[in-house]
A and B are shown apart, each in its own frame.
Chain A
Amino acid sequence: MKKIFPVIFVLLAVSASAQDKSTARPLPNVDVKDLTGSTVSSSTFENGGKPIIIDFWATWCKPCIEELNAIHEVFADWQKETGVKLITISLDDARTMQRVAPFVKGKGWAYESYLDPNGDFKRAMNVNMPPQTFVLNGNKEIVWQHVGYVEGNEEELYEQVKLVAAPAK
Chain B
Amino acid sequence: MYQAASSQNILGGSIHGNVQIDGQFYVTDSAIGAPEVPEQFLSNGFANFIYERENFSAGLRYENYTNPILGFDPRYKGNGIPFRYLNYKNKEIEITAGNFYDQFGSGLVFRTYEERGLGYDNAMDGLRLKYIPVKGVYFKGIIGYQRDFWTKGEGIVRGVDLEWNINESISKLDSLKTKFILGGNFVSKYQEDQNPVYILPENVGSGSGRLSVIHGNLMLTGEYAYKANDPSDQNGYIYKDGSATLITATYADKGFGISLGAKRIDNMSFRSDRDANLNSLLINYLPALTKNHVSILPAHYPYATQPNGEYGMQGELFFHVRPNTLLGGKYGTDVAVNYSRAQAIDKVPTGDDMGYTSEFFDLGEEVYFEDFNVEFHHKWSKKLRQILSYIYINYNQDVIEGTAGHGHVYSHTVMLETTYKINSKNSIRNELQHLYTEQDKQSWALVLLEYTISPRWFFAAFDQYNYGNNFEAQRLHYITGTLGYTLGTNRFQVGYGRQRAGIFCVGGVCRTVPASNGFSFSVTSSF
Given contacts A148-B491, A150-B458, contact A17 B254 (CB under 8 A): no
Interface size class of A (residues with CB under 8 A): 35 or more
| Given A38-B181, A152-B455, A153-B454, A103 contacting B526 (CB threshold 8 A) | no
Answer whether residue A18 sits at the interface, using C-beta atoms and an 8 A cutoff: yes
Q: How large is the interface on B (under 10, 10 to 19, 20 to 34, 35 or more residues)?
A: 35 or more
Given A102-B318, A106-B255, A151-B454: A25 and B486 interface contact (C-beta under 8 Å): no
Interface of B is mostly: strand
Report whether A20 and B113 are in contact in the complex, using a CB–CB cutoff of 8 Å: no
- Tell me the bound Cα distance from A129 to B287 in angstroms: 21
Q: Please report whether the interface of chain A is mostly helix, strand, loop or mixed according to DSSP.
A: mixed
Judge if B285 is at the interface, Cβ distance under 8 Å.
yes
Q: Which of A18, A23, A99 meets B7, CB within 8 Å? A: A23
Query: Assuming A10-B523, A25-B5, A129-B117, is B111 touching A118 (CB within 8 A)?
Result: yes
Cross-chain contact B214 with A14 (CB below 8 angstroms): no
* Chain B 8-20: CB-based contact to A (< 8 A → 1; otherwise 0): 1100001011111
Q: Which residue on chain B has the smallest CB distance to residue A143? A: B4
Distance of A94 Cα from B225 Cα, bound (Å): 15
A134 surroundings in chain B (CB, below 8 A): 5
- Of the candidates B6, B39, B294, B524, which one forms a contact with A128 in the assembled complex, judged by CB atoms under 8 Å apart? B524
Contact B9 A23, beta carbon cutoff 8 Å: yes
Chain A 75-112 interface mask (CB, 8 Å, partner B; 1/0): 00000000000000000011111110111111110000
Q: What's the count of A-B pairs with C-beta under 8 Å?
A: 251
Q: Is residue A13 within 8 Å, beta carbon to beta carbon, of the partner chain?
A: yes
The answer to whether B266 has its CB under 8 Å from any CB of chain A is no
B259 pairs with A102, CB closer than 8 A: yes
- Chain A residues within CB distance 8 Å of chain B: 2-3, 5-6, 9-10, 13-14, 16-26, 28-29, 36-39, 59-62, 66, 93-99, 101-108, 117-120, 123-124, 126-129, 132, 134, 142-148, 150-153, 155-156, 163
B residues near A (Cβ < 8 Å) are 2-9, 14, 16-21, 23, 39, 41, 43, 45, 47-48, 50, 52, 55, 57, 64, 66-67, 89, 101-103, 106-107, 111, 113-114, 116-117, 138, 163, 165, 168, 179, 181, 212, 214, 217, 219, 221, 246, 248, 250-259, 261, 285, 287-289, 291-292, 294, 316, 318-320, 334, 336, 419, 421, 424-427, 429, 452-455, 457-458, 484, 486, 488-491, 523-527
